[in-house]
Amino acid sequence: MAMRLLIGEIHLGFLGKTNWLEFRFLPLIQVLLSRVNFFGSKEDISTEESLSLQSYRQTSEIFLCGLLPESPTATSQRTADGLVWVNQWNPFQYSVASSFLAVVYSDYMLSSQTSNLYCSGKLYEPTELRNFAVSQLDYILGNNPMEMSYLVGYGSRYPQQVHHRGASIPVNANSNCSDGFKWLHTRHPNPNVAVGALVGGPSLSDTYMDSRNNISQSEPTTYNSALIVGLISGLITSSSQVESFVKN
């Protein structure tokens, strides 16, 4: 039922319609449904529905070609140092999600023995999608112009004023809800380290202002954390290990 709804009524897979500003859900749905095109479905699918699934895969590949920096259709929406950057508010949600999808699609390719991704006359192997993902993760973990890790608690230098109430208010403080503002505005580092939190990320110029009031850059989110866990898990897991559940 859900499959028929997606491929028969909600036409999200139109070729060429990938919109970076609609990144919050469209590419994720397209890549997920590409899996069905790679490996088939337990449900009976008509010819028309099969063509719809093919369009999801084609649109996914347009999106993925845009991620590869050497691709003829590489997106210009990235910083000078190579981070995919779409929006000033929590920019890491886009770069980490892009990387996660690149790893997922590379596993689809390897498991289905699909040798290449075709990008406007150039061919790219699955390993090149993974290399892109590694480059984004390396940036996040410290290989960037700020020479800092954006994953709190990782490395010797990371954000000290994360916009996080639990991190900024002392454990033994006797306070009510409104008292939190006095810690919000202090210039002191957070008394508690929010280990594992991924902040919003840098500006388009690869700069970062470590301030609790700089919410667009310093606020961590659960969806950022979920994405980076998925990304790291995908990168440390070989295709042969995931082949069994990709096909089932």
Domains and CATH numbers, the chain: 1-67 (no CATH), 68-246 (1.50.10.10)
- Phi/psi for 117 (5° steps) reads -105, 125
Predicted confidence at residue 16, as pLDDT, reads 42
pLDDT above 90 covers a percentage of the chain that reads 52
Q: CA-to-CA distance for 235 and 12, rounded, in angstroms? A: 28
How confident is the model at residue 33, as a pLDDT? Answer: 82
Write down the pTM of the prediction: 0.84
What's the pLDDT at 45? 66
Tokens of 183: 């810690």
1 — pLDDT class (breaks 50, 70, 90)? very low
Closest of 131, 120, 117, 125 to residue 34, by C-alpha = 117
Return the pLDDT at 28.
80
Note the pLDDT tens digit of each residue in 105-149. 999 999 888 899 999 999 999 999 999 999 999 999 999 999 999
User: For residue 226, is pLDDT > 70?
Assistant: yes
Q: Quick one: tokens of 26?
A: 């469209």
How far is residue 143's CA from residue 95's CA, in Å, rounded to a whole number? Answer: 15
- Residues 6 or more apart whose CB falls under 8 angstroms from that of 177 comprise none
Q: What is the DSSP string of 54-89?
A: HHHHHHHHHHHHHHSTTSTT--S-B-TTS-B---SS
pLDDT at 17: 43
Distance of CA 85 to the CA centre of its chain: 11
Higher pLDDT, 94 or 20: 94
Residues 27, 60 contacting (CB under 8 angstroms): yes
- The answer to whether 206 and 80 have CB atoms below 8 angstroms apart is yes
The residue ranges of DSSP E strands in the chain, in sequence order, are 117-119, 122-124
Overall size of the chain counted in residues: 248
The mean predicted confidence, pLDDT, of the chain is 83
What confidence score (pLDDT) does residue 157 get? 96
Neighbour count for residue 118 (Cβ, 10 Å)? 10
- Tokens describing residue 210: 């470590």
Residue 42 has pLDDT above 80, yes or no: no
182: number of Cβ within 10 Å: 12
CA distance 232 to 239: 14
Q: Give the DSSP H or E segment for 91.
A: none
Is 163 a catalytic site residue?
yes
pLDDT at 150 > cutoff 70: yes
Number of alpha helices (DSSP H) and beta strands (DSSP E) in the chain? 10, 2
Catalytic residue among 11, 163, 164, 188: 163
